[in-house]
């Protein structure tokens, strides 16, 4: 019996190794997405998002602007927080800060990389992406792709009729007062934001999730931090401009600003950018 058992175990082990290599990206994706809001250290993942998730790429600007160097400065030894002195070095260590760039008057005064960070390493921006999305909405208004932010968002996104966003002004979505029922409690496994996380983990459609939300309040009456509101603005951009968000961003912001490195934007299984958190860029 043993002479048959050992080769079988060896074959199973070999099969396991082959499958691990074959599905390495899927395993990494599942691991990152399911631990995203757990407090687990992320510096071995946030530096290589494009290796784990599908992304859309924004090329470096053909007129890249190099940040000029200024007189080197040092960081303060400590800072005051809630009446207590906190050592800057301890804070940077405890928060796994992997890239720190200080500009003054447009010049680099301090630059430090630790852990898996580096001058050419892209990092996941999390909700900083929301500011780029809202800026692009403003550009789309200026260019006439969106007639007015007083219009209902369903004038552009009829697939959201019957959902929480039916008839809601674009302005209310921009101000996160859409009235959509939403739970952004990262510690609650059943929260809406963790439903986002499950799409990150195993794939799916962010747009379909938006269409399933129900109204909890009258639009324009209550400000509630809601990542789905930004995702719906991303859907609006795609519909109004007829272009992917990353492509529009490349032309309207990334290149004109003289970005010296590629940018990557995470996309879902249908090619829609994760407008609420998916932008990746270097510190510079």
Is residue 2 pLDDT above 60, yes or no?
no
Distance of alpha carbon 113 from the chain centroid: 21
* 207 HSE (CA, 13 A, CB side): 18
Encoded tokens for 62: 């053909």
176-209 pLDDT, tens digit each: 999 999 988 877 878 888 777 777 777 778 888 8
Of the listed ranges 28-32, 145-149, 249-253, the one predicted with least confidence: 28-32
10-46 pLDDT, tens digit each: 555 444 444 444 556 667 766 666 666 666 777 888 8
Which residue stretches of 212-263 are H helix?
A: 227-241, 245-249
How far apart (Å, rounded) are the C-alpha atoms in residues 203 and 141?
A: 31
Higher-pLDDT residue of 125, 13: 125
Q: Which distant-in-sequence residues (6+ apart) come within 8 Å of 243 by Cβ? A: none
Q: Which distant-in-sequence residues (6+ apart) come within 8 Å of 106 by Cβ? A: 67, 68
How far apart (Å, rounded) are the C-alpha atoms in residues 9 and 205?
A: 40
Q: What's the confidence (pLDDT) of residue 35? A: 63
Encoded tokens for 193: 């934001």
């Amino acid at each position: 019996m043993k002479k048959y058992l050992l080769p079988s175990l060896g074959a199973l082990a070999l099969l396991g190794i082959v499958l691990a290599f074959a599905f390495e990206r899927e395993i990494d994706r599942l691991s990152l997405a399911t631990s995203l809001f757990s407090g687990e250290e992320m510096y071995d993942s946030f530096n290589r998002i494009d290796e784990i998730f599908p992304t859309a790429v924004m090329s470096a600007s053909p007129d890249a602007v190099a940040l000029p160097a200024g007189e080197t400065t040092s960081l303060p030894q400590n800072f005051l927080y809630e009446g207590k002195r906190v050592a800057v070095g301890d804070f940077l260590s405890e928060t796994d800060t992997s890239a720190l760039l200080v500009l003054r008057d447009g010049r680099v005064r301090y630059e430090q990389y630790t852990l898996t960070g580096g001058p050419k390493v892209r990092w996941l921006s999390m909700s900083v992406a929301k500011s780029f999305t809202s800026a692009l909405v403003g550009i789309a208004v200026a260019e006439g792709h969106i007639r007015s932010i007083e219009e209902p968002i369903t004038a552009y996104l009829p697939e959201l009729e019957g959902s929480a966003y039916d008839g809601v002004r674009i302005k209310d979505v921009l101000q996160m007062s859409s009235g959509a029922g939403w739970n952004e409690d990262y510690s609650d496994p059943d929260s809406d934001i963790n439903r986002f996380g499950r799409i990150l983990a195993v794939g799916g459609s962010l747009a379909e999730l938006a269409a399933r939300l129900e109204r909890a309040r009258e639009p324009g009456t209550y400000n509630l931090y809601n990542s789905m509101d930004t995702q719906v603005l991303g859907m609006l951009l795609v519909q109004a401009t007829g272009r992917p968000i990353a492509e529009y961003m490349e032309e309207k912001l990334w290149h004109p600003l003289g970005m010296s490195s590629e940018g990557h934007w995470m996309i879902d299984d249908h090619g829609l950018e994760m407008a609420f958190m998916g932008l990746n860029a270097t510190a510079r």
